[in-house]
A and B are shown apart, each in its own frame.
Chain A
């Protein structure tokens, strides 16, 4: 993946920040000059401030690290890490440091990047832990893909429905459970989701109660327990990892079910292969399809009819793909719309394989599409063999 140039913003509770006249308090400490007068700065400063820790967690020493990705008014994306930073200028605990990276619009489209690894690299490279007031130069970062990820065990039962909601719904999904689990899910989704779906995946780990006013900025938000949840739970779709409950909504589609099963089983290479196929097909590139029929069927649901020419390169897989797709009518209709039995079944159009392929298509396709195709190719021997006995409409 190519290097990306990012702007920076750092905020904390300091005695003297970037704007000395503000005096003491939580404020911008350091910032890239390009952001100083930008339309994005107010939202950056606003969201940087959202970090709270319950007394229970503070006592236990288990202080959360909040990471979030959200869209800015200019169309840029902001990736943030906020964490406890010991004492403030007053000598009291509760100080926190918010380091934000701002990406140009479209900078990360088309590449499967790991947001958490990017934050690690930026913080190490950019000295963002330095609290002296200063200008920050843009950083040049090299996005990397997620490394091999462990399977998703907890909450696997409802994962398909959650994914369906994430891909096709609106509003914020609130994940209640260990924040590490939500973080692993987010990292995994960034590794396996196609580009178009990934670009809409805004998230916030450690979405404490007070974050409620900004829920619309995040599609996925995570909290450790119901005690940390916002006061108005009706504004969210809540996924409880411990009890594995998710308010039933739309039934999970084929892609969501397949993706959930793959994440739960840790089949990341298969998921990555499907991701690459979907991205390639949407871009009009010749790409190999996944070997597994179930993966092909899942790719169909996301990529749509652009997948048909690639499917026809390997017509032998058509019956299994059609079966794996649950005899998807739309897939069969799209295939029939392409053309002749030779195009559909390749060199095997005269052999038994062609018959199996056409039989599978006949079962899956809509009656209208099948009749139209059959009428169009009625003179072809393979089609004729499927025609069956013709009955005269006249009685004599």
Chain B
């Protein structure tokens, strides 16, 4: 039994986004990064950085999906059922004052199909008024992104109605699948200096946090500069909203051509070698181990908001 003042601080995080925008893979990538990268770079003999799954759901969402990634597969799609709390305990978080603190994070991975159904959310997401952190995950690689700006704005309004005091919550907007975009004109300048990602040490932490601030400002500008609704979304969320750009896997998943067995990136609709159309029944695979890019940024924003970093 932990004495009250020794209990870690607690945060409730709602992960929100449309279907297939990368929420579940993000959570798996986040855990992967904490388990393999941060636990090493934040190593400390006395208070090592460590993550622990507190409940069964957390084991499924984090550990088991990370195991799936280690096998070169993608986690299965989340079912459209009421989200269950997945509780992680993070210990040994280095603060600016040199002290190490712990934090308990309860994640709710809200099904993408349900996010537009306000009645469903009222019935099945009673935890929303208790959230402390709201993380919107958007996939900017989709061709209908301008439509998504409208939908993002609508989504924010919906969440604001369901979460009392939403404007005072720690809100983060994360653009996922940056591995597909970083070579494109819009993104080359924004991301080039940050790629590849290096997990910060406590000594480099201050600099890393500065990079996060700079990147957030650049991404806010990117959203605002987008035609067809970008400013309409940015203007309605509060100025303290943080923007992140990340890649949960570090590379595009691939599919294997049934005819010639050549691996093709997810974005291709036909085989690059023989031209055979993609067989949609074949599952995507990873071309290598995950190398997440800046998946820790939303986590660090949560740490900052909680006062532990």
Binding site for B on A (CB under 8 A): 13, 22-27, 46, 49-55, 58, 86-96, 209-211, 213, 227
Contacts and interface: CB of A to CB of B under 8 A. Distances in A.
A25 B112 contact: yes
B32 to A, nearest CB: 15
Contacts of A92: 74-77, 283-284
A49 B75 contact: no
A49 B81 contact: yes
A210 B81 contact: yes
Nearest to A15: B280
Interface string B225-236: 000000000000
B80 A25 contact: yes
A22 B151 CA distance: 12
A91 B266 contact: yes
A26 B60 contact: no
B250 to A, nearest CB: 17
Contacts of A227: 56
Contacts of B284: 87, 90-92
B263 interface: no
B281 interface: yes
A188 B260 CA distance: 50
A95 B255 CA distance: 17
Nearest to A13: B77
Contacts of A91: 74, 253, 255, 266, 280, 282-284
A13 B20 CA distance: 11
Given A49-B79, A50-B81, 10 more contacts: A25-B113, A26-B111, A53-B76, A55-B64, A87-B284, A90-B284, A91-B282, A92-B75, A93-B76, A210-B81
B2 to A, nearest CB: 22
Nearest to A26: B80
A13 B266 CA distance: 18
Nearest to A210: B81
Contacts of B64: 55
For A92, A93, A213, the residue with the greatest tally of chain B CB atoms inside 10 Å of its CB is A92
Contact of B79 (A22, A23, A46, A94): A94
B20 A90 contact: yes
Given A55-B60, A213-B124, A89 B82 contact: no
Contacts of B281: 86-87
B84 interface: yes
Contact of A23 (B19, B60, B80): B19
Interface in B93-122: 111-113, 116, 120
Nearest to A56: B64
Interface of B: 18-20, 56, 60, 64-65, 67-68, 73-82, 84, 111-113, 116, 120, 124, 253, 255, 266, 280-284
A89 B20 contact: yes
B178 to A, nearest CB: 17
Contacts of A94: 75-79
Contacts of A26: 19, 79-80, 111, 113
A296 B171 CA distance: 70
Contact of B67 (A55, A88, A96): A55
Contacts of A58: 76
Given A87-B283, A91-B266, A49 B255 contact: no
A209 B79 contact: no
Contacts of B120: 46
Contacts of B282: 87, 91
B67 A52 contact: no
B18 A23 contact: yes
6 contacts: A26-B79, A50-B81, A58-B76, A92-B77, A94-B75, A95-B77
A51 B67 contact: no
B280 A87 contact: yes
Contact of B20 (A24, A93, A209): A24
A208 B253 CA distance: 30
B79 A89 contact: no
A209 B85 CA distance: 12
A210 B124 CA distance: 11
B77 A90 contact: yes
Contact of B74 (A13, A22, A93): A93
A330 B120 CA distance: 51
A59 to B, nearest CB: 9
B60 A88 contact: no
